[in-house]
Structure 1
């Protein structure tokens, strides 16, 4: 579209003190103000000014689907007027209201007063949020410890097979501990163990007895961790009919949406003077992770205006939008489809890590 247009047609000469970037909105609205005339079948709405003639924000959500024997996610775009009919499918069970209680939230170290930035932290660019990591953001309260006498002994997060192996290792060591350590470790006196701690090899019968006891104790503790005490707080847990051992449990994988508006630019650092709930309204009252807490365009328009509104922050098109370069022209349907696919694929590859566990509940 712009391949045969001179640079000076849009940009000023180099010796002028002003920026070379053409920022007045006419540069964009000359076309975008009448897209329906220029391209009859366009999916984009006309826009001439951010204050009074701009469509609502379209969001990008991750939609789960089942393929190749596992749950995967694909990005889909949601129209602004359909936002109230959709929800996020992260598979996470989480209440912002509970964690942002102004009275504090109970933790192993006493009541703690949490804020948004305890979990939501900016990356080095100041624009996007870093991923939520269980061990870093949740682990101080939702502990994975398995021995109250040794708080550093924990099961790994996110891998049931590794959790089970850790438990079996722990109980195998306990089975073989000498009797003189029983009082110090507060172990049950009737717990089976190798008498006297001598180094003779166990017989096959003793080995079978040891393995049976280790498996039994490991599964009991695994059930306590998965169904009663830890995993169930945040994850969707189910039992798989006909399965046994650690494979009888299925924890639905969690994938959080990290790119709600992949075609827009937003700088959180520039908005540091605002509280999070000024834009993400009612976030502190949300009780489920399926709630979409992204702001509507009306929230931005409280402070931002078009170039003819001096009483607000003048906001031109390039403040939030990237210019479409040659080969990515939006008036060409094929090029536009390619542009959208490339951007969504980039978002998916950068932010979404699909689990490898087979979705056995499907």
Structure 2
């Protein structure tokens, strides 16, 4: 058997070990580019620096709120000692913006730039990502050890607790006698005849918060405070002292213009109610007429007319109307825009048509909101859509740190 002639050594001798020394287009271009690219970059940086441009060092365009600064990076960025990067400190943000604390007893407070990320284009800086909130809200520990909301709050659709207004046992504490069901019936007795009320008759949408319901704007047209059949005037919806003063003055003016009314009995109009004021005692002078009539008016107002809606505490010399304590907002820690929801009927979210008691809480539950605000499709469900981090009720005026020349020149 003949010996092998194809050996590894023989094969290795076929390889030219100096191949890399021979010129080759690929290696030539690699050398040229490795030299030319840094040179071109340096030339570009030099040209930009000569022109005063700071674009090469920017992470991207700033938000629309900060575009007034133009390329004046030093307005926000402060270069630290022995560092190349110019950081944005909280003090620089606070020179233009007040940032009230989130919670007085929170464990830690993130930096402004930790949640409000700049250089991402013309976006709204308050549009923070859910993960920025969940970093703390997934474990709501406090310095006092006492929970104020829940132990953990996560995504709106999976880990958000029920609204406080709709939790078990929640009741409307307003001291007012009001029945929504009666007011939503057809053919109500109105000032100009039969009428029908809609939600928007009393509740003005499109505002944040909803405009308050007042007697003058929403109740007076159907519930005028007439106090005497002889006088075509209504009592003011005001403090008892002012009501007494106004009605007494109206009676004095009437009897001065109609002295013949002294001693005349009032005409009987239909069946007399059980709680109707007793007939006036005989009077001989205008002063006696006013005094007796005023006492009768006060009994009528405070025992019937005003008591129809209010709780009255009888105490001399004038009664006391218990404050109604009507809430201006049911969700003080959330933000809601009725204008953005105007395509949805009021009764889709608020069960007012069947409500008979003032103590009924007519706010929607979280399940109602989740029908539209979903993760994968539907309306947005990010935290910032409804919540604000800062407690703006504690906001303080900011002392301006710039003048127009500093901002524009």
TM-score, normalized by the shorter chain, greater than 0.5: yes
Shift of 1:220: 0.8
**Is residue 2:281 matched to residue 1:176?**
no
The residue that corresponds to 1:111 in the other structure is 194
The residue that corresponds to 2:303 in the other structure is 227
Q: Distance in 2 between matches of 1:214 and 1:6?
A: 68
**Is residue 2:204 matched to residue 1:121?**
yes
Shift of 1:222: 2.2
Matches for 1:1-362 after TM superposition, within 5 Å: 1=108, 5=111, 7=113, 11-13=117-119, 16=121, 18-21=123-126, 23-35=128-140, 41-43=146-148, 44-59=150-165, 83-101=167-185, 103-122=186-205, 126-146=207-227, 151=232, 153-177=233-257, 182=260, 187=261, 190=264, 209-228=285-304, 230-240=305-315, 243=316, 247=318, 249-280=319-350, 282-305=351-374, 309-324=375-390, 343=393
Consecutive unaligned residues in structure 1, runs of 5 or more: 60-79, 192-206, 325-338, 347-362
Q: Distance in 1 between matches of 2:196 and 2:130?
A: 45
Q: Give the TM-score, by structure 1 length.
A: 0.65
Q: Please, what is the CA RMSD of the aligned residues?
A: 3.2
Shift of 1:12: 4.2
Counterpart of 1:106 in 2: which secondary structure? Answer: strand
Q: Is the 8 A contact 2:262 2:289 kept in 1?
A: no
Deviations 1:25-44 (A, max 9, x none): 12222332234599965443
Q: Distance in 1 between matches of 2:314 and 2:342?
A: 45
Shift of 1:251: 2.6
Q: Distance in 1 between matches of 2:199 and 2:247?
A: 34
Q: Mean Cα displacement is larger for which, 86-95 or 271-280? A: 86-95
Q: Distance in 2 between matches of 1:293 and 1:91?
A: 16
Q: Is the 8 A contact 1:45 1:55 kept in 2?
A: no
C-alpha spacing 1:147/1:210, structure 2 compared with 1 (3 Å): closer
Consecutive unaligned residues in structure 2, runs of 5 or more: 1-107, 266-282, 396-409
C-alpha spacing 1:169/1:32, structure 2 compared with 1 (3 Å): closer
C-alpha spacing 1:20/1:259, structure 2 compared with 1 (3 Å): closer
C-alpha spacing 1:311/1:161, structure 2 compared with 1 (3 Å): same
Q: Distance in 2 between matches of 1:24 and 1:98?
A: 45
Q: Distance in 2 between matches of 1:39 and 1:30?
A: 19
Q: Distance in 2 between matches of 1:31 and 1:115?
A: 43
Q: Distance in 2 between matches of 1:210 and 1:224?
A: 21
C-alpha spacing 1:142/1:26, structure 2 compared with 1 (3 Å): same
Deviations 1:85-144 (A, max 9, x none): 24222211111101111x231123211100111111147xx2212222212211111112
Give the greater-gyration-radius structure (CA): 2
